[in-house]
Structure 1
Amino acid sequence: MLETLRSLLLYKHFIFSSIRNELVTKFVRSKLGGLWVIINPLSQVAIYALILSNVLAAKIPEVESTYAYAIYLMAGLLAWNLFSEIMNRCLNVFIENGNLMKKMHFPKITLPIIALGSSILNNVLLFVAMMLIFVVLGHSFSLMLFWLIPLTLLLVTLALSLGLILGIFNVFLRDIGQIMPIVLQVWFWFTPIVYPIAIIPEKYHQWLMLLNPMFSITQAYQTIIVYNQAPSFDTGLIWGCCIALLSLVLSLFLFRRATEEMADVL
């Protein structure tokens, strides 16, 4: 762990410059530039909000607002988009940079960290856009928003760890890269993002929290943003922390063992 941190600090300029270059390259020929980072998820939110809020008259318990559902949906998507983007980026990061891994000598752990930094930057831009929309919709904020910092740290640790594990396996078994988009799609619908948690029978909550760590994390995001309340550190969040830490240890162990073999396979 200490050796990994030392190598990341030593190559911090390489990491930051790679993130900057990736962002610039992505939008260099686009007239709207970085706006595309927020246009796609916000258009998705608008579709969901129009159909489920107005057509199906979806309501959020204890929130008296015409736009309560849209705010609830955006809060959940803020968490899920960051999680899924990190997972998808890490899943293919070694395959996409195979030539670089074979030709240059550098800490290979910087590759998923660069993907992580780019994903966080995209999420920050989306967060700012959402906050502006919430102001337009008349939604108020409070200091409870600072709870998003430790929650995001938990989410990022979980996503990076699982993504790193799957990314390593994907080098040796390419079917992983084909299966995971389907798994993530199913995972999305088993997480209370599009639908209110209130529609799930309470007797199933505990099982969902144990089987799905994103259940409690997205619920905490929604509690903070929609209700302006501090998240409840229940069994689900504690279990999520345990899964994230165990996954982090496992991912670093696998990475140390598989780095040389990955370079040979690629």
Structure 2
Amino acid sequence: MKEILAAIWGYRHFIVSSIKNDLRARFARSKLGALWMVLQPLAQVATYALVLSRIMAAKLPGIDNRYAYVIYLMAGMIAWSLFAEVVNRSLTMFVDNGNLMKKMAFPRVCLPIIIGGSCLVNNLLLLVTAVGVFLLTGQPLSWVMLWLPLLMAINLAFALGLGLILGVLNVFVRDVAQVMTVVLQLWFWFTPIVYMPSIIPDRLRAVLEFNPMMHMAVAFQDVLLYGRTPGIPGLLVIAVAAAVLLLFSLVLFRRAVPEMVDVL
């Protein structure tokens, strides 16, 4: 672990410059540039809000704001978009950078860090946009938003741990990326983002408790919509899951790196 941290620190300038280059490359020759980072999730929120707001609005107790369901959606989407983007991009990070790994000497662990940093910038822009929407709709901001950096850090750690494992496996079995595309779609609907957990039958709600992203989405909704401290037990669940995944992914990564370069 010390070697990995030392490698990351030693190549910190390489990581930062790579994140900047990644962001520039994604929007090269684009007229709207970084706006595309937030337009897609906002369009998704708008679609769900138009279709479901009248059905769901009455099921948000204690919220007087008529845009409460929109805020509920955006809070959940902020949590989900960071997780999903990191996992999706991690799936093919070694395959996409195979030539770079063969030609250039650098710690391979920099690749997931670069992806995580780029996705985090995207998510921060989405969060800033969401806060602007909240202010326009009359949603008050609260001191509990100070929890957001911790929530984003736990969310990022969980996504990187899972993404690194899947990225390594995808080098050897390319079907992993295809399967995970379907799994993430199902996972989204298994997470209370477009619906409230309260509308789920009790026996099914118990199953939802095993979904770490449910706890993350609920934590963002608590902070951004209800203005209350997120539930500590739920945060502990996903924090422990993130720690276990990160540790396992780093062990798997260190053992697989020599063979990965040969396969690529």
- Select the residue among 231, 236, 244 that pairs with 1:246: 244
Measured against aligned partners, the alpha-carbon deviations of 1:234-264 in whole angstroms (never above 9, x if no partner) come to 2x33222221111111000000000010000
Q: Write the distance in 1 (CA, Å) between the matches of 2:57 and 2:176.
A: 36
Q: Are 2:148 and 2:220, in contact at CA under 8 Å, matched by a contact in 1?
A: yes
The code of the aligned residue for 1:222 comes to: Q
Q: Distance in 1 between matches of 2:4 and 2:199?
A: 44
- Aligned to 1:230, the other structure's residue is in SS state coil
* 1:125 match: 125
Q: RMSD between aligned alpha carbons? A: 1.1
Alignment map for 1:193-212 (pairs within 5 Å): 193-210=193-210, 212=211
Preserved CA contact (<8 Å) 2:56 2:195: no
CA contact (8 A) 2:57 2:68 kept: no
Distance 1:207 1:57, change over 3 A: closer
Question: 1:226 matched to which residue of 2?
Answer: 225
Report how many residues are paired: 263
User: How many angstroms apart in 1 are the aligned matches of 2:207 and 2:238?
Assistant: 13
Instruction: Return the alpha-carbon distance in structure 2 between the equivalents of residues 87 and 40 of structure 1.
Output: 17
Counterpart AA for 1:258: A
Aligned twin of 1:216: 215
Q: CA–CA distance in 1 between the matches of 2:185 and 2:16?
A: 31
Q: Normalising to structure 1: TM-score of the pair?
A: 0.96
Name structure 2 gaps, 5 residues minimum: none
Matched AA of 1:14: F
Distance change in 2, residues 1:116/1:57 (3 Å): closer
CA displacement at 1:65 relative to structure 2: 1.8
Alignment of 1:132-171 (within 5 A): 132-171=132-171
Separation of aligned partners in 1, 2:178 and 2:26: 24
CA distance in 1, matches of 2:235, 2:33: 37
Give the 3 Å change call, closer, same or farther, for CA 3–57 of structure 1 in structure 2: closer
2:92 partner SS: helix
CA pair 224-57 structure 1, distance change in 2 beyond 3 A: closer
Q: Is the 8 A contact 1:61 1:198 kept in 2?
A: no
Describe the SS at the equivalent of 1:30: coil
Where does structure 1 lack aligned partners over 5 or more consecutive residues? none
Q: Return the alpha-carbon distance in structure 1 between the equivalents of residues 57 and 73 of structure 2.
A: 11
- The equivalent residue for 1:255 is 253
CA deviations over 1:10-35 (Å, ceiling 9, x no partner): 00111110111111122220111111
Q: State the one-letter code of the partner of 1:53.
A: S
Q: Deviations over 1:135-171 (max 9, x none)?
A: 0001000110011111111111110000000000000
Cα displacement (A) at 1:106: 0.6
In the superposition, the TM-score normalised over structure 2's length comes to 0.97
- Residue 252 of structure 1 aligns with an amino acid whose one-letter code is L
Task: Point out the more displaced range, 122-131 or 143-152.
Answer: 143-152
Tell me the distance in 1 between the aligned counterparts of 2:84 and 2:56: 28
Counterpart of 2:95 in 1: which secondary structure? helix
C-alpha deviation, 1:61, in angstroms? 2.2
Secondary structure (helix, strand or coil) at the match of 1:244 reads helix
